[in-house]
Structure 1
């Protein structure tokens, strides 16, 4: 099936996760079975104090807009909160590094979603080690610990957000390999359909877990909302990087 005829996939289904099914649960009337999951945990790192927040919030944004990110959540890792993400792949094996040209050619819908997500969350750390593709399962974008606050020092989160709030992600690895921009506006609309109330609900999970202060939480919500409204501008400002697209139609002035 060609990329043109392939129907868009709405993110990752659980069939793409590393799950082994076991025996039926005693007393279950609905066929519920035990499951063993392959998952990855990110604890708080003193050298990158916002890494758990970055990964959790970025993943939640991706899940909310339907992008191809493995499901993840905050969990208690011992006495502290960390981030847990389901593993993508088959039979507990980590997939090989992604070939960006192959992803863009065979899965343009999902690839475009990753580009839009990364512009929204200010993630300039997309590489073949945190983007996976298996033709039998789909695309998975993960490890967003360098997005949002980045690797800024403790108590410098608000300053970091102020510095990057209007900074577009330049040199995205997928941009030169995309052959169509027909999916860009659909993904932007998906991202912009997420309300401020939902943004605050996601961020406030980090505040309640003492991973963020209340001022940092408010600043992050404002940051996400501002960038959410400016994704279109960030994409247009990047038009020269989409070298594989013959006709640029997002901006009548060619992005200038």
Structure 2
């Protein structure tokens, strides 16, 4: 397991399971029965695509190296799937809300990564309560149920929203006003571009196989993600007025191609 010093050095892509309140119930031959604190998202009447949104967005973020809590789809009794993810915090307890100015000062690389990622998945609900930060240890992101298809109630509505938002920049985010150095974005454009089309299609196929989305939505979501994957720098430039703490705009606006 990586140490705190390693976490500070490498930052993103590191997720310390020591902060999940793990407990071994029994052990035989070196293999133990492990209990972990976790959260499970289920679909609700208000958010019928909540599980699909959270699973797809979180899986893509993990693939890009974001510090997102590991998770998976879990079939539950009574039918259907929940999206279960490890609970991030001290001994599994969710950390208090971040203070955005302090977070951007202490973790500028991660701050830029979070913004770039949320532009990719069109996340409209990033706030101080769904970014976890254990100072000197690591960062954790969670709650992506209002990305992608957002509040859509039906497949037809979801298809319409995806078409309307394909080239729309996300404009409501807690971090841009407090970012002071945009040079970190360049690496995040490359990281997100490195997520291959095969991986994107694998994630969408899993959501389809689990019955979370139909075939038409699977294909529309794939196109939506692949298209926005090459537009992130443009979205950030469109929202430049939000970066009120940046004294020198050094963002490289060169577009990058998605993976193959």
TM-score (norm 2): 0.89
Paired position in structure 1 for 2:74: 75
Corresponding position of 2:114: 114
Q: Corresponding residue for 1:250?
A: 251
Match of 1:27 in 2: 29
Q: 1:18 aligns with which of 13, 20, 25?
A: 20
Encode CA deviations 1:163-215: one digit per residue, 9 max, x unaligned: 11111011421001111112101011000111111101001101001111001
Residue 14 of structure 1 and its aligned partner are, at CA, apart by 3.1
State the alpha-carbon separation in 2 of the partners of residues 223 and 62 from structure 1: 15
Aligned to 1:223: 224
The answer to whether the Cα contact below 8 Å between 1:16 and 1:89 also exists between their aligned partners in 2 is: no
**CA-to-aligned-CA distance 1:90-117 (integer Å, 9 cap, x gap):** 1231110111111101011111111011
Distance between the aligned counterparts of 1:197 and 1:210, measured in 2? 20
Q: State the SS of the aligned residue for 2:84.
A: strand
In 1, the alpha carbon distance for the partners of 2:33 and 2:16 equals: 15
Cα displacement (A) at 1:23: 5.3
Please give the alpha-carbon distance, in whole angstroms, between the structure 2 residues aligned to 1:251 and 1:184.
Answer: 8
Root mean square deviation of aligned Cα: 1.6
More helix by share: 2
Q: 2:153 — aligned with what?
A: 153
Deviation at 1:124, TM superposition (A): 1.6
CA distance in 2, matches of 1:152, 1:192: 27
- Counterparts of 1:13 and 1:130, CA distance in 2: 15
**1:241 alignment counterpart:** 242
CA contact under 8 A between 1:175 and 1:242: conserved in structure 2? yes
Q: Which runs of 5+ in 1 are unaligned?
A: 1-5
Output the TM-score relative to the length of structure 1. Answer: 0.90
In 1, Cα distance between equivalents of 2:202 and 2:19? 26
Q: Structure 1: how far apart are the matches of 2:248 and 2:18?
A: 34
Contact 1:17 1:86 in 2 (8 A): no
Corresponding residue of 2:207: 206
Task: Tell me what 1:100 maps to.
Answer: 100
Provide the rounded CA distance (Å) in 2 between the counterparts of 1:251 and 1:237.
Answer: 13
What SS is found at the alignment partner of 1:68?
Answer: coil
Contact 1:18–1:88 at 8 Å: present in 2 too? yes
Q: 2:63 & 2:252 partners in 1: Cα distance?
A: 27
**Residue aligning to 2:257:** none
Matched, 1:45 2:47: no
1:172 aligns with 173
CA contact (8 A) 1:12 1:70 kept: no
Q: Are the equivalent residues in 2 in contact too, given 1:207–1:213 (CA < 8 A)?
A: yes
Deviates more, 1:128-137 or 1:62-71: 128-137
Give me the whole-angstrom Cα distance separating, in 1, the residues matched to 2:132 and 2:89.
Answer: 9
Unaligned runs of 5+ in 2: 1-7, 254-260
2:60 matches 1:58: no
**1:3 matched residue in structure 2:** none
